[in-house]
Amino acid sequence: MAVPRYNGRFGPIQAERLLWRAGFGPRRGEARALAKLGLDGAVQSLTRVTGAARMIGPEPHDDDGLPLAPTDAYGHDVLFALDRMVRSDQPARERLALSWHDWFATGDIGQVALNLGQFETFRRLGFGSFKDLFLAVTVDPAMLIWLSGIDNTKDAPNENYGREMMELFALGVDAGYSEDDVREQARSLTGWRTEWQDGVGYTNFHYDPDYYDTGSKTIFGTTGNYDWRDSCRLCLEHPAHPGYLVDRLWSYFFPIAPPRRTRSALIDRYNKSGRSIRPLIEAMLTHPLFYDGPRMVKPPLVQIAGMLRARGGGVQESSWVWVADDAGQRPFSPPNVAGWDEARWLDTARFSGRWSAGGVPVNASRAPDDGSYPADETAAEAVVKALAFWGKPTVSAPTRAQLINFANRVETIATADWQQSTYRGLRQNALRVLIASSPEYQTC
């Protein structure tokens, strides 16, 4: 069964959407260059990367000009993650890692190095086998702390991970498993231990057979002396797994559910590929709905990183920590084990953070309002210049008309000679923030 394939024009506009949804938006001129590769060439240039990523652009630093210390300084873990999103020449790998961070949501466990290590696992395994990723996350130190794996013993089974591995990670809610399955999964997952070292925290994560429940367990109607590997295997062999994985992975690239035939074809591809992720993503990135379907809201971190990529700058100040938090997506701090709620990206509680995000790059490169700005710049010229500030993103005709209308209104109130330059400088800064807050820039 074949997955439907897009056969329309693949130009800069389509490449721009690809770069936003599969990465963090285009650098200047990147969409046009990517379009020249054609659909398959463009997609594979993002999904078939090898080796270590190369960082492009200025080195990151905090407000004091100091280099980042992500495991030692407050908020530097956020700045470090954002810097990778901005500067990596493997944006799809970084974007997929962010998606896995949402999928296997792990919050602040008090040891930043472990959170960063888990994110590196997402980078390394993100495009490969879901089985390998699932196994790695199950015994990942950050996850073992977050969902109580280190407290799960034969004498006191802890159900946290056993429940979430089915409900959130592999099968979904109401997938036909029972509370008995949760309890038996917990017993299978016993045996992982750690040590506490003052001044360091948890260390020496290891499997200790003395804490493993060696008794027989019954999971999904089958019985055996199952361990943590079997626990993962049984989830992946469950009939609900392929459909759950396809639906959730699809949701990271599309704002609507997959059509029935597409869903079936993707499930078939997943099963025949040995549970590989890359073939699924490539099929999704070449699907007709990817380019002809409705727009979707950019996650806050994606928009923030994309603005910095468009500017050709980087992480040069600490304010991004509170801006990301205010916008609703601070790395290593999901709201709960279910991850972020994408339906709330544009709610009234979070839009102020997105507005602030647009203002940070504008404030860093403000147009002068001291009388030195060109006093004869027209409204249309001002809009063109403001769009160029953001790398000439695509905006709709109605949005462009509203921007020009605003620019014209500024001129009508600039009546005194001294206002001609000053107000035009102020207008330029306002236009830049308005573009960053426009419907087209908030969506892709």
Q: Are residues 193 and 283 in the same domain?
A: yes
Contact 134, 232 (CB under 8 A): yes
DSSP per-residue codes, 263-295: HHHHHHHHHHTTSBSHHHHHHHHTSHHHHHS--
**Among residues 292, 309, 332, which one ends one of the domains?**
292
What is the share, in percent, of the chain residues with pLDDT greater than 70?
100
Q: Are residues 84 and 218 in the same domain?
A: yes
Q: What are phi and psi of 66, to 5 degrees?
A: -85, 145
- Which structural domain range is residue 420 located in? 366-444
Whether 6 is in a domain gets the answer no
For position 349, what pLDDT does the model report? 83
Lowest mean pLDDT among 64-73, 205-214, 229-238, 342-351: 342-351
Q: Are residues 66 and 197 in the same domain?
A: yes
Given a cut of 90, whether residue 237 has pLDDT beyond it is: yes
For position 117, what pLDDT does the model report? 98
Given a cut of 90, whether residue 344 has pLDDT beyond it is: no
Mean pLDDT of the chain: 96
From CA 23, how far away is CA 90, in angstroms rounded? 8
The total domain count for the chain is 2
Q: Are residues 102 and 235 in the same domain?
A: yes
Whether 111 is in a domain gets the answer yes
Q: Are residues 135 and 233 in the same domain?
A: yes
Whether 268 is in a domain gets the answer yes
> What is the Cβ-side half-sphere exposure of residue 287, based on CA atoms within 13 angstroms?
26
Whether 327 is in a domain gets the answer no
> What is the Cβ-side half-sphere exposure of residue 381, based on CA atoms within 13 angstroms?
8
What average pLDDT does range 340-356 have in this prediction? 88
**Among residues 258, 292, 326, which one ends one of the domains?**
292
Whether 169 is in a domain gets the answer yes
Q: Are residues 122 and 210 in the same domain?
A: yes
Q: Are residues 77 and 201 in the same domain?
A: yes
Q: What are phi and psi of 73, to 5 degrees?
A: -105, 140
Q: Are residues 287 and 387 in the same domain?
A: no
Read off the pTM: 0.96
Reduced 3-state DSSP string for 371-425: CCCCCCCCHHHHHHHHHHHCCCCCCCHHHHHHHHHHHHHHHHHCCCHHHHHHHHH
More confident residue, 347 or 211: 211
**Among residues 234, 265, 292, which one ends one of the domains?**
292
Whether 140 is in a domain gets the answer yes
For position 47, what pLDDT does the model report? 98
Q: Are residues 116 and 249 in the same domain?
A: yes
Q: Are residues 86 and 228 in the same domain?
A: yes
Bridge partners (DSSP) of residue 207 are 192
Q: Are residues 288 and 370 in the same domain?
A: no
For position 1, what pLDDT does the model report? 81
From CA 386, how far away is CA 149, in angstroms rounded? 52
> What are the pLDDT digits (tens) for 364-423?
999 999 999 999 999 999 999 999 999 999 999 999 999 999 999 999 999 999 999 999
Residue 346 pLDDT grade (very low, low, confident, very high; cuts 50, 70, 90): confident
Bridge partners (DSSP) of residue 202 are 196
Q: What are phi and psi of 338, to 5 degrees?
A: -85, -5
Whether 231 is in a domain gets the answer yes
For position 30, what pLDDT does the model report? 97
For position 272, what pLDDT does the model report? 96
Whether 427 is in a domain gets the answer yes
Given a cut of 90, whether residue 204 has pLDDT beyond it is: yes
> What are the pLDDT digits (tens) for 36-93?
999 999 999 999 999 999 999 999 999 999 999 999 999 999 999 999 999 999 999 9
For position 408, what pLDDT does the model report? 97
Q: Are residues 286 and 409 in the same domain?
A: no
